Chains A and B, each alone.
Chain A
């Protein structure tokens, strides 16, 4: 199996506290993966490292067929290379419409000069409508995204991720604050997306992870504790001790 992202031996510490400790992780080009772990396990920090927000003290992060090092690239270059990220807190541009949010995310030339002269073509508008349909916001296209409900904002952010057409999606706690029906819709979206690309989902909620029905990586104190199917890892004694047993 070829790998899309290969993280090996990565460590990072904040003021002497090792948030990530010799962590290794890899994912293939069309794979769905869940990362679980107690609060403070380093799940968000792991995403920060992959997306260039945090520089690790040691280790390597390699990307794509050519094994390009992501550590030499900044956040926007990594995003353009094909890694999209959804934050724990929904972060959409609240003062702008749903349409504008999606339009900004749409995969297009990102250089200032071409953005300045960019005017949406019919196919761009069609693509935005299609995405809005997918995330259930077709009727809200021209509303300011600040007015959306919490769950709708989460979806808008997922829609923006899909609009970027990334090869790897990193999704941090997408189901937080969602109703049961919204959670189901979210799992469907993620499973659908994972058919054509790699998707990494960080989640607390076991029910949600079970519904994703995928390989699970358990993080604890900054390194991998166990990996395998959900049933496999929940039988693991270490996992039970540190996480499930409590």
Chain B
């Protein structure tokens, strides 16, 4: 029982090694430092995919391990993006405004500069005043803190209200959908202070880095995303490997029993909900500078449902499953919706994948749920010889969220 963390969790070492090799390979094939076999936009796609893998890990922690099917975690992802986006947009507009005003006869006052930035940013929503929530936008350090604090506090308050009244199962899922819907509807309003449906744009341009080509910047973000994913994976593996993991899996399988053991189930749920919200927010803060734009549609309820679909297809309750699911599905999705997959002419009808991809995805989700509940990650079991226990088809606990026999390991 005193074996080291890595000896007990060999998949962690394998994961880190694969991630390192992948990062190196992309670096060597990038336009900035390598052969240029991978275009800058594809490096960005890969970097974004790593961020999606990170938020999938958060989803797996809350759903696969703690049994809470949150369908609102992309709200935290989006909020993280908005928080970093505010600084990116402010600082870059400031640089542009300062340059253009520098030629003026009378040097502009500080207030004039701020007003000019405001006009630039909020012109699209017919305003020029900075809303109060932009008060820290000129400080990178403060906005970085907000990346963690704003989604973290939202999750803390929402989770406290929901878990305290013992909302569970489908009702909790619906509540989280309502949360992300409400947030997105609020942000769609022009007077929400975050430019309504225009969202924040130009985020790919780092302030003060005008002379650095996007090829370099994309690679930096790719590295940062890979690093964050590695750290996130280690953290998640550490959380679930010890007694804490035991308790949250216990909550998933039979939360009443955990209560009678003296654990405050609500406290644990709140803890996992908040920590996963923060992981999601960090992933979002790395994602949106690579995407270049964020708008309220990004946190529409469907986004969080996709997240659950990735984890389900990859295999919930195992961290690498979440990563595989997110990477596999989101890359396929990019291919299909990007028109890279040729249409299928059937004579009477042509299957255009841009339109039919959603149907294909929905269908695979149904098929995986019905016939391969362990997801893609279940293939690993064929290699390692992990077999399900013989429980004659019974679930591993009385709760609805408990592990199914076919998902469990022996």
Contacts and interface: CB of A to CB of B under 8 A. Distances in A.
Interface in B229-250: 239, 242-244, 246-247, 249-250
Interface in B250-301: 250, 253-254, 256-257, 259-265, 267-268, 271
Given A100-B246, A118-B242, A146-B391, A93 B254 contact: yes
Contacts of A79: 259-262
Nearest to B397: A94
Contacts of A160: 261
Interface string A134-153: 00000000001011000000
Interface residues of B, number: 33
Contacts of A77: 264
A243 B264 CA distance: 40
A16 to B, nearest CB: 24
Interface in A54-101: 74-77, 79-80, 84-85, 87, 91, 93-96, 99-100
A245 interface: no
A112 B268 contact: yes
B267 A112 contact: yes
Interface residues of A, number: 36
Given A95-B403, A110-B264, A116 B259 contact: no
Contacts of B397: 93-95
B410 interface: yes
Nearest to A97: B246
B16 interface: no
Q: Which 9 A-B pairs have the closest CB atoms?
A: A79-B262, A75-B259, A80-B262, A94-B396, A112-B271, A116-B244, A95-B396, A76-B264, A91-B257
A96 B261 contact: no
Contact of B249 (A53, A76, A95, A113): A95
B343 to A, nearest CB: 45
20 contacts: A53-B256, A75-B259, A76-B262, A76-B265, A87-B257, A93-B246, A95-B249, A95-B397, A95-B403, A100-B246, A104-B243, A110-B261, A112-B271, A115-B243, A115-B244, A118-B242, A118-B244, A144-B409, A146-B391, A146-B396
